[in-house]
Amino acid sequence: MDEMIEGRCNNEWLEELRRTYLSGAPRKLAELERAILGLEMNPTSLPHERRLRRLLHNLIGSGGSYGFPAVSDTAKGMSECLKRRQKGASPIGTDVLQDLRAHLQNLRKVFDDAGA
């Protein structure tokens, strides 16, 4: 009986963590939007690129940790877009920026489907 109660408490705790994570989705998406917009406005901006890479790195880890593997997978896809750019090459190409935008739309859908 105690194990059953403990399991239920753990499930409730986990669900609360997941809800809290999802409540931060609009902020995360807005930060990604700003970083991509910054790169669109200045495709040679290393600060915007670094910020985008850091945001994606965080989403890759946190998505899986909180039980949202589709968040991690989509962020990995965005990260792969950035890897297509030759190291040190500038500017970031419009094809990469278009792919980042498409992935960002997918990420919005992933969060929406998850209940964010």
Question: HSE (CB half, 13 Å, CA atoms) of 61?
Answer: 5
pLDDT at 5 over 80: no
Q: State which amino acid sits at residue 46.
A: L
User: Which alpha helices (DSSP H) does 42-115 contain, by range?
Assistant: 46-65, 69-83, 94-114
* 60 contacts: CB under 8 Å, gap ≥ 6: 72, 75, 76, 79
Q: What is the dihedral of CA 11, 16, 22, 24, to 10 degrees?
A: -150
Task: List, for residues 62-92, the tens digit of each pLDDT value.
Answer: 999 999 999 999 999 999 988 876 665 678 8
- Domains of the chain, earliest start first: 2-114 (1.20.120.160)
**Confidence at 56, pLDDT banded by 50, 70, 90:** very high
